[in-house]
Amino acid sequence: MSNENKINQLNQLVDLNLENEKQLLAHRNEIKTLQREKDEEKRKFLISVIEMVDAFERKEENLHKKHEEADAKKIIKNFAIVKKRMLNVLNDNDVSEVELKHFEIDSSVVMIVDTVKDESNRNDYIAEVLKKGYKIGGNILRQAEIILVKNE
């Protein structure tokens, strides 16, 4: 075999190798895109479960105000069962509640939706948590919505 034929074969192998690398890179990019789409779908699903938990907590709170009624007690018990199942779904997906400290405001964790004057507490005290915050692993899934004390 002549040197020219060997060079041609080597060039063909190099071209084939480059084509394979391009295809491999394209497949890796496709896998990354699919993983991002899967992660976003999971995030949307978990947010909807969190919103259902919020709704159950609001209903449960309203029913506790009517605790003297026998029917309300049954409804509270049923709500608690469904809520527990939804919280288990969140727990199984590594979702946990964000722990808030009344004097530490981290804007990546909380969204201040209102302020209130309250002389019995100092400024920047969390007066009320309207919606709990949640995280998945170390990433914030949903910020907590809070009312903050501002006396000035």
Which tens digit of pLDDT belongs to each residue from 46-103? 998 898 888 888 877 777 776 566 676 777 778 788 888 888 999 999 999 998 876 6
d(C-alpha 130, C-alpha 125), whole Å: 14
- Rounded to a whole number of angstroms, the CA Rg of the chain reads 28
- What CATH superfamily is the domain 96-152? Head domain of nucleotide exchange factor GrpE (2.30.22.10)
**pTM as predicted:** 0.66
| Eight-class DSSP state of 149 | E
